[in-house]
A and B are shown apart, each in its own frame.
Chain A
């Protein structure tokens, strides 16, 4: 097991380097010089030339690109993601609490989507081709087709404006409720479909038929025999789902004004603050890769049939 984890960690190195390179391109490929964009129209031309030279030196923009990339990797390895070009504060200070907020939103939504998605999927598979199945699958097709930002507005309209159960700008733990519900319900839709097809496959297998023949009760068959095997597919999918949830969180944060890194990234792109944009995308992709590694390890731990040596 430990050699497997070590190998996975080593395989992660080129991927992380690749991610660093792609995020590095954000700074390197901006068509207008990032520094010029920053100072446009703010200072006189003579002062600007001086300031630009100073800034270029400070952000290492006067060096050849491979040196810039090496410096970027070295600094990132030490946890230094640079300074925001707009606020001049270290990026980590700007991102810190926002990153936790995004994680909170992502994992709350994940919990909602797992509970609702997996339960719906099981029920739909068990009651296959009944009105329950058809309704569940139609609703999940609605979910897949729904723009998350619009669904968020609908929830605000229903719960805050019409029913008035929630304040329009909620404080404290309530503030998390609607954003997490929006994202969680939207992501429950594909999860329900995948759980259903996994469950149908398992329910039609020989060992379930054998259990039925032995006279095992339906509840036991469903939850003790079928579910664990169907969940294996679901666990892998959940790893990938973290990607859509993280990405979805970026949009939902804007809808609800939730102070996460997604909201920050959108502002940073509009401000042309390439250092923040770069850092947020790096942190987001890094989180996604790490969570997937954890899921893979969890997966081999849950399913003892997987051979660590050859996998």
Chain B
């Protein structure tokens, strides 16, 4: 959850070599780190899709007689303070994890890329306006910007996703702009202009595909940060609300019975960690493949 990773990402330049999706996939399949990271991510997506079929218990069913049971059969991850099966809840939580990752990064990515393109390839007036706004937003520590948006919209899972997405926009805009500025000097862009292509066609048809890999690289940094922030929001009570089996929300209040029932926060907390670790492994491998100089 740090701006450091983002600055490091900002330095990553667009590779000059055109790489196809198939080539990238083949390279990724060869790396140990992307094999491990990718398998975990696929497993999470699989659980998210088939959660209702896979869960042994109803994740919302309260069973007071079996409250705070330690891990062991038939409750593999134990039960929580209301007797709900933690394994089923963690499994269901994959749905929120996937939802949060996709929505928040889509918001940040789409608006950020659009702003970055307009600033980098548009008029100088548009550039200075967009960049002044971006400068102001980057003057906020990330979490504070997230909190500001939550303060306006009110706490809920949806606002958490929107807030994390909005807070991610300035970072994307800055990275895309700097890459667009480099690409627009290239001879092939000049050639398109000479051939009479309009500014929109050059922006979307020529410049965008050539900054795509830098966008992917940046996303590999931004996604784990966004998901960690969203789960932290749920943990402090400003994101997903109980009884939603969101991992961050499941850790809330665990402090009170940490002494007697450590497994209640352990399962969801460790799952967040493993999931983010997998995304980071995959991201590292992706950066190695797309931008070998970054290591």
Residues of A within 8 A of B137 (CB): 22
From 102 to 155 in chain A, residues with beta carbon under 8 angstroms from any chain B beta carbon are: 141-142, 144-150, 153-154
Q: Knowing A22-B137, A270-B238 touch, does A240 contact B147 (C-beta < 8 A)?
A: no
**A289: shortest Cβ distance to chain B, in Å?**
5
Question: Would you call B231 and A284 a contact (CB within 8 A)?
Answer: no
Contact with B along A177-204 (1 / 0, CB 8 A): 0000000001100110110010000000
Contact mask B228-239 → A, CB, 8 Å, 1/0? 100110011110
Pair A190/B277 contact, Cβ less than 8 Å: no
B139 with A19: CB separation less than 8 A: yes
The interface stretch among A41-49, A81-89, A222-230, A245-253 is A245-253
Q: For the complex, is B65 an interface residue (Cβ under 8 Å from A)?
A: no
A232 at the interface (CB under 8 A from B): no
Majority secondary structure, B binding face: helix
Q: A26 contacts the other chain (Cβ, under 8 Å)?
A: yes
In the complex, the chain A residue whose C-beta lies closest to that of B235 is A149
Q: Contact between B144 and A191 (Cβ–Cβ < 8 Å)?
A: no
Answer whether residue A285 sits at the interface, using C-beta atoms and an 8 A cutoff.
Answer: yes
Contact B273 A251 (CB under 8 A): no
- Contact of A145 with B141 at beta-carbon distance under 8 Å, contacts A14-B132, A15-B135, A18-B136 already known: no
Q: Is the CB of B231 within 8 A of A15?
A: no
* Chain A CB within 10 A, most for which of B3, B132, B141, B224: B141
Tell me the complex Cα distance, A237–B235, Å: 28
Output the least CB separation between A269 and chain B (Å). 5
Kindly identify which residue among B3, B8, B152, B258 contacts A25, using a CB–CB cutoff of 8 Å: B152
Q: With an 8 A cutoff between CB atoms, is B99 at the interface?
A: no
Q: Which of B2, B8, B273 has the most CB of A within 10 A?
A: B2
Using an 8 Å CB-CB cutoff, how does the interface string of A6-17 with B read, 1 for contact, 0 for none?
A: 000000001100
| B contact residues around A289 at 8 Å (CB) | 139
Is A255 part of the binding interface, using a Cβ–Cβ cutoff of 8 Å? yes
- Which chain B residues border A23 with CB–CB below 8 Å? 148
A145 and B133 alpha carbons, distance in the complex (Å): 30
> Count the A-B residue pairs with Cβ separation under 8 angstroms: how many?
173
Known: A161-B258, A190-B5. A284 touches B144 (CB 8 A): yes
Closest-by-CB residue of B relative to A251 is B232
Residues of chain B with a CB closer than 8 A to A197's CB: 295
Cβ-closest chain B residue relative to A200: B295
Q: Once the chains bind, are A194 and B8 in contact (CB under 8 Å)?
A: yes
Q: Are B140 and A22 in contact (CB under 8 A)?
A: yes
Cβ 8 A contact of B237, one of A145, A147, A266: A266
CB closest chain-A residue, reference B276 = A145
Tell me if A243 and B142 are in contact (CB < 8 A): yes
Is the C-beta of B119 less than 8 angstroms from some C-beta in chain A? no
A30 proximal to B (CB < 8 A): yes
Q: Contact at A26–B277, with CB atoms within 8 Å?
A: no
B258-295 interface bits toward A, Cβ cutoff 8 Å, 1 = contact, 0 = none:
11001001000110110011011100100000000001
Selected from A14, A141, A240, A248, the residue in CB contact (under 8 A) with B1 is A248
State how many residues of chain B have any CB contact under 8 Å with chain A.
53
Chain B residues whose C-beta falls within 8 Å of the C-beta of A255 in the assembled complex: 235, 255
Q: How far is the CB of A100 from chain B (nearest CB, A)?
A: 18
Contact check, B143 vs A248: say whether CB atoms are below 8 A apart.
yes
A156 on the interface (CB 8 Å rule)? yes
Task: Return B13 CB to nearest CB of chain A, in Å.
Answer: 15
User: Is the CB–CB distance between A288 and B140 below 8 Å?
Assistant: yes
A247 contacts B258, C-beta separation under 8 Å: no
Shortest distance in angstroms between A243's beta carbon and chain B's nearest beta carbon?
4
Q: Are A247 and B142 in contact (CB under 8 A)?
A: yes
A194 and B254 within 8 A (CB): no
Q: Please tell me if the beta carbons of A246 and B141 are within 8 angstroms of each other in the complex.
A: yes
In the complex, whether B155 has a CB less than 8 A from a CB of chain A is yes
Q: How far is the CA of A248 from the CA of B281 in the complex (A)?
A: 23
Task: List, in ascending order, chain A residues with CB within 8 A of B133's CB.
Answer: 18
Chain A residues positioned under 8 Å from B153 (CB to CB): 31
Chain A residues numbered 248-279 whose CB sits less than 8 Å from any CB in chain B: 248, 250-251, 254-255, 265-266, 268-270, 272, 274, 277-278
Residue of B nearest to A20 (CB): B136
Residue B151 is within 8 A (CB to CB) of chain A in the complex:
yes
In angstroms, how far is the closest chain A Cβ from the Cβ of B240? 14
Given A15-B136, A142-B277, A147-B276, A274:B151 Cβ within 8 A: yes
Which B residues contact A (CB, under 8 angstroms)?
1-5, 7-8, 132-133, 135-137, 139-144, 147-148, 150-155, 224, 228, 231-232, 235-238, 248, 251, 254-255, 258-259, 262, 265, 269-270, 272-273, 276-277, 279-281, 284, 295
The 3 closest A-B CB pairs, nearest first, are: A247-B143, A18-B136, A150-B269
**Given known contacts A144-B224, A255-B255, A281-B144, what 5 new A-B pairs fall within 8 Å (CB)?**
A22-B148, A149-B248, A153-B265, A161-B258, A281-B147
27 inter-chain pairs at a CB distance below 8 angstroms, sorted by A residue, are: A15-B136, A22-B137, A26-B151, A30-B152, A31-B154, A144-B2, A145-B224, A147-B248, A147-B272, A149-B232, A149-B248, A153-B258, A161-B259, A186-B1, A190-B2, A190-B5, A243-B3, A244-B3, A247-B141, A247-B142, A254-B236, A269-B155, A269-B238, A274-B151, A281-B140, A281-B147, A285-B140
